């Protein structure tokens, strides 16, 4: 894979509002043509980072570089970037074509050239040509999303910023638009920087993901790296259903859970590890017949089951802790609830993390 040069960089960026520090000394580099998503819960600072990148907020300290040039003081309208807001900010009294053409109109592009560009973008985003004269309020939610994206692409920005544009859309349409956004990113070759509170959304679309917590960037990696090698309990919990066992190091070699009264085999321990958490994904946890079938085994009670389309999740109670086991529907259990079962996993299928 060819290494792409950075298009935009944050160097020790901090943003304070009075006595409150919203963003703490962030370093980040986004490559040319990358789909980079910043994800985190409400209040994590992700939107503040996006607004600084877009020129809507100025950093308190640190530098923002665009292709190596400092742009801290360059206003938003003089940056080769464009923002797609959560509210979309379309003009309700204007047509689809007029909305798309607006950035070109304020740059004094000739009317015939504006219309030509608008129709090109409509075709690219699968909006029918006869929608050009349709009032935008008559469009569906998904169509309005496409209009907003076409308007953002109209003047050919280098970087597109997205501020949770799919958060208010129903699940089925959101899944469709996630795929469409990824397709559009591939077709245009533009750099996309996307903000969301949904890691599932980020996993579908992104080349890389940055996870934020309390104003800090706590992990950056590919979707696979974030999922398979979270660097903390927070990241592992944030990316979906997970089994987490508090553990400590015993005699410098063994991992023990005091709550479960059990010892476990684990993968290589992080340097300096003395106590933390053992993370096992639901798909890595198995209901087994014999203790010899896994390196780590617990005895529990089959408590409940949930059908999730092609998958089934089972809850197994071990003492006061509930474990989640996930299987394909065709591998559904035939046993009854409230029966005793063995659950197990191998050392390589678990992760040791700190807090």
Q: Does residue 137 lie in a domain region?
A: yes
Section 1-19 average pLDDT: 88
| pLDDT exceeds 80 at position 269 | no
Same domain, 205 and 293: no
**For residue 2, what pLDDT is reported?**
45
Query: Is the predicted pLDDT of residue 1 greater than 60, yes or no?
Result: no
Predicted local distance difference test score (pLDDT) of residue 159: 95
Average pLDDT, the chain: 90
Give the integer Cα–Cα distance in Å for 341 and 221. Answer: 37
pLDDT of the residue at 69: 95
Question: In this structure, what CATH number is given to the domain that contains residue 196?
Answer: 3.40.50.300
Please report the pLDDT score of residue 170 as a whole number: 77
Tell me which of 340 and 268 has the higher pLDDT: 340
**Residue 261 in this model has a pLDDT that exceeds 60:** yes
Residue 304 pLDDT: 94
Average pLDDT over residues 59-72: 96
Residue 244 near residue 324, CB atoms below 8 Å: no
14 burial level (CB within 10 Å; 0-12, 13-18, 19+)? middle
| Residue 234 counted as domain residue | no
For residues 275 and 187, state if they share a domain. Answer: no
One domain for residues 63 and 154: yes
Residue 109 belongs to some domain of the structure: yes
Domain boundary residue, one of 176, 204, 228 = 228
User: Do residues 324 and 283 touch, judged by C-beta distance below 8 A?
Assistant: no
Output the pLDDT for position 176: 82
Residues 195 and 245 in one domain: no
Q: Is residue 64 part of a domain?
A: yes
In terms of domains, do 172 and 305 share one?
Answer: no
pLDDT in tens, 19-34: 999 999 999 999 999 9
Per-residue pLDDT band for 36 (boundaries 50, 70, 90) equals very high
SS (H, E, C) 20-69: EEEEEEEEEEEECCCEEEEECCCCCCHHHHHHHHHCCCCCCEEEEEECCE
DSSP 335: S
Domain count, the chain: 2
pLDDT digits (tens, 9 = 90+) for 68-92: 999 999 999 899 998 888 777 899 9
Q: What is the pTM of this model?
A: 0.87
Q: What is the pLDDT of residue 132?
A: 96
End-to-end CA, the chain? 33
Q: Are the C-beta atoms of residues 165 and 88 closer than 8 Å to each other?
A: yes
Residue 251 lies in a domain: yes
pLDDT at 212: 96
One domain for residues 146 and 286: no
Q: Which domain holds residue 221?
A: 6-228
Residue 341 and residue 319 share a domain: yes
Q: What is the pLDDT of residues 171-221, one digit of tens each?
A: 787 888 888 889 889 988 999 999 998 888 899 999 999 999 999 999 999
Final residue belonging to a domain, choices 201, 228, 255: 228
Looking at the predicted structure, is the pLDDT value of residue 154 above 70? yes
**Residues 29 and 156 both lie in one domain:** yes
55 or 274, which is more confident: 55
Kindly state the average pLDDT of the residues 330-351.
89
Give the pLDDT mean for 221-246.
90
228, 251, 274 — which closes off a domain? 228
Task: Let me know how long the chain is.
Answer: 355
User: For residues 53 and 252, which has the higher predicted lDDT (pLDDT)?
Assistant: 53
CA angle 202, 61, 23 (to 5 degrees): 35
Query: Are 132 and 245 contained in the same domain?
Result: no
pLDDT given for residue 118 in this prediction = 95
Taking residues 84-102, what's their average pLDDT? 89
């Amino acid at each position: 894979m060819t290494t792409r040069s950075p298009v935009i960089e944050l160097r020790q960026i901090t943003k304070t509002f009075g006595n409150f520090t919203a963003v703490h000394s962030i370093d980040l580099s986004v490559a040319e043509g990358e789909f980079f998503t910043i994800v985190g819960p409400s209040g994590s600072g992700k939107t503040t980072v996006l607004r600084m990148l877009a020129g809507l907020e100025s950093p308190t300290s640190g530098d923002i570089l665009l292709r190596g040039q400092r742009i801290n003081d360059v206003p938003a309208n003089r940056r080769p970037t464009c923002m797609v807001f959560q509210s979309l900010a379309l003009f309700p009294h204007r047509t689809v074509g007029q909305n798309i053409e607006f950035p070109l109109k304020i740059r004094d592009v000739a009317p015939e050239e504006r219309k030509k560009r608008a129709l090109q973008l409509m075709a690219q985003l699968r909006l029918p040509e006869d929608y050009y004269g349709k009032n935008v309020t008559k469009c569906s939610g998904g169509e309005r999303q496409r209009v907003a994206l076409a308007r953002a692409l109209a003047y050919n920005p280098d970087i597109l910023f997205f501020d949770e544009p799919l958060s208010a859309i129903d699940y089925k349409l959101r899944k469709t638009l996630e795929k469409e956004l990824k397709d559009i990113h591939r077709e245009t070759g533009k750099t996309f920087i996307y903000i969301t509170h949904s890691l599932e959304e980020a996993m579908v679309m992104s080349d890389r993901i940055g996870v934020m917590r309390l104003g800090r960037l706590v992990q950056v990696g590919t979707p696979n790296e974030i999922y398979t090698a979270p660097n903390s309990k927070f990241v592992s919990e944030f990316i979906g259903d997970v089994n987490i066992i508090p553990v400590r190091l015993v005699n410098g070699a063994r991992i023990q859970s005091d709550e479960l009264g059990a010892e476990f085999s684990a993968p290589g321990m992080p340097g300096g590890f003395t106590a933390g958490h053992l993370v096992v994904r639901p798909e890595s946890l198995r209901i087994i017949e014999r203790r010899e079938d896994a390196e780590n085994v617990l005895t529990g009670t089959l408590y409940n089951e949930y059908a999730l389309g092609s998958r089934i999740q089972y809850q197994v109670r071990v003492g006061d802790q509930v474990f989640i086991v996930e299987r394909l529907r065709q591998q559904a259990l035939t046993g009854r609830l409230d029966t005793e079962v063995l659950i197990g996993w191998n050392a390589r299928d678990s992760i040791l993390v700190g807090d």
